[in-house]
A and B are shown apart, each in its own frame.
Chain A
Amino acid sequence: MMKNKTTSGTWVAKFILALWAAVCLLPIIFFASIALRPRNEIIAPTPIYFPTLTTETWAKIWDEWPIGTYFVNSVMAVFGSVVICLLLGVPAAYALARYKFKGREDIGFYILSTKMMAPAAVAIPMFVLFGRLHILDTVWALMLIYAAANLSIVVWIIRSYMVDIPHEIEDAARTDGASDLRIMWSIIIPMCLPGIITASVIAAIFAMNEYLFTLIIASKNAYPLSVALANFSGGSDGIIYNAIALVSFLAFFPALLLVISIQNHLSRGLTMGAVKG
């Protein structure tokens, strides 16, 4: 029945899908080959499509830039921001999902609308604020700004999972005398764990990707991977693409693992709970 001849059964459809798969994969394979080739084969008079593959350049790259530090900066800033998002976001999501109160809708939409904020529009005030707090070029500043950028997403994703939990369970616990906080902690949170994990993964990936705020906050010590790679250029050598490619894959593999772990929740996460499935 589903194997209808006119849908994906035809090989025209298969061809189109394979074509787009090639569009996705070929640049990635090329990028991987950049990470694996010696520096003089990256920019040549005629492009080299089948380079000498070697990992010998990695030691040199590792010596030239503190890539380990960049990686640790990224992990700390991303992880810290997700923790902040959850600490602030889970109670907020619980309130929006499980209580009826005045202004609920307005507050919910206000939270959502902060997602629409253009980073460029708030960059100057944030730069000044962090300057006054003396936390420019620190991982703390990155943590705070990533959390601010992703809090709305976290609240809305978790809220959408909490709404789905039947009220009976909560009512039964309440009749047994459990307090509201107790209900949130030992019933609602465990039951919407997939939502909390999804929200954390999406927030982590967005934080990892953040560029504009990071660019103005980090100037030397706090470089995370996303901005560090923009500084891989060495005078006469120009832009050092094999270092960039190497660092890109360093960020890509953790992201891939995280996304595979939530792949059935991905669309729900990306739409902040609006599209289920």
Chain B
Amino acid sequence: MTTLQSTIIRRRSPFMRKAFPYFLLAPAMIYLLGITLYPGIYALYRSTMTGKFKLEFVGLENYKELIVDNAFWESLYNTLVLGSITLVIEFTIAMALAALVYRDPWVKAWRIIFLLPMLFMPSAVSFLWKLIFNDGRIISDLLTRLGSTFGNIDFMGSTGFARSVLVVTDVWQWTPFLFIIFVAGLQGMDKEVEEAARLDGASWNSIFFNISLPMIRPVIAIGLVLRGIDILTMFTPVHVITQGSPGGATETLSYFIYRTAFKSFEQGYASAASVLLLIATIVVSQTLVRRFFKSGTE
């Protein structure tokens, strides 16, 4: 019986052998094309239309409007400013903690404690910090107790404060993401290289910066790419905490699209912004992802 089966398979093997992996991939590919190709084409089509119920063809009108729209450029600028500040802070804290902890016998315990913020839903974390900063006035109160004379600070009232609240929220929740990846990278390193350098009398600092850090560069790159992409699509804390206030100073690109499409119901206009964002995403993901995940595919 088994020999018979195997002969059958072997007989049709030239074609089957070639086609089989494609059959296995087909369902996933069709599904993913459904969420990438279809939205891309639809957004492109919709971006040439205007109107809420009765659509009217307007060609490139939406794009022309978009590129002179200050709110759009401001949201792009905010996304980049918020994103880079957040990423730099998260990287610094995560790397410092990882460096302190990776040879510690208690590393597992530290890791569990440090990753707790990551296990709350982002919407929950956003409300938590909204309460701490603004509604509950905890920060103002603590500052007053420490001798500040500002009284109750309105954290949504100034650009700097409102942006800081978003940065703090993201840093608190997502530093653990980088921390866990960096610890794994440092632990995965060959211990003997460090040991040899230590026996040669190198200081801890020079070992870390000259040996360990360069060795885990690929790991750092992957962590930063993944976190960077997430930060550039920041939406939840903006929606929960600031809604873009004051005066659009904290509006990110994602929030801009959401607001135009689902609050002002200008879907054609928002689709134009979606198309631009999609193009940017494709360019970025094709270059960055291929480069940094190469080692993963070998």
Contact = CB atoms under 8 A, between A and B. Distances in A.
Which interface residue of B9, B20, B128, B284 has the most chain A CB atoms within 10 A?
B128
A245 B275 CA distance: 37
Contacts of A252: 119-121, 124
- Of the four ranges (under 10, 10 to 19, 20 to 34, 35 or more), the interface on chain B belongs to 35 or more
A92 B29 contact: yes
Contacts of A266: 115, 180, 184
Decide if the interface of chain A is mainly helix, strand, loop or mixed: helix
Interface residues of A, number: 108
A263 interface: yes
Given A215-B239, A248-B124, A267 B184 contact: yes
A208 B219 contact: no
Given A120-B257, A271-B219, 18 more contacts: A7-B204, A20-B93, A28-B117, A92-B25, A95-B20, A109-B286, A115-B229, A118-B233, A120-B233, A120-B255, A121-B278, A125-B46, A128-B46, A156-B296, A229-B121, A259-B119, A266-B115, A274-B222
Contact of B128 (A31, A151, A156, A274): A31
A195 interface: no
Nearest to B18: A101
Nearest to B228: A116
A85 to B, nearest CB: 9
B35 A117 contact: yes
B227 to A, nearest CB: 10
Contacts of B110: 17, 21
Contacts of A119: 233, 235, 254
B31 interface: yes
12 contacts: A7-B100, A27-B117, A92-B25, A115-B229, A116-B285, A122-B274, A124-B274, A125-B274, A179-B9, A212-B254, A255-B120, A263-B112
B285 A239 contact: no
B235 A122 contact: no
A177 B290 CA distance: 38
A91 B128 contact: no
Interface of B: 2-3, 5-6, 9, 18, 20-22, 24-25, 27-29, 31-32, 34-36, 38-39, 42-43, 46, 93, 96-97, 100-101, 103-104, 108, 110-117, 119-124, 127-132, 135-138, 141, 172, 176-177, 180-181, 183-185, 187-188, 195, 198, 203-204, 219, 222-223, 226, 229, 232-233, 235-236, 239-240, 253-255, 257-258, 261-262, 267, 270-271, 274-275, 277-278, 281-282, 284-286, 289-290, 292-293, 295-297
B138 to A, nearest CB: 5
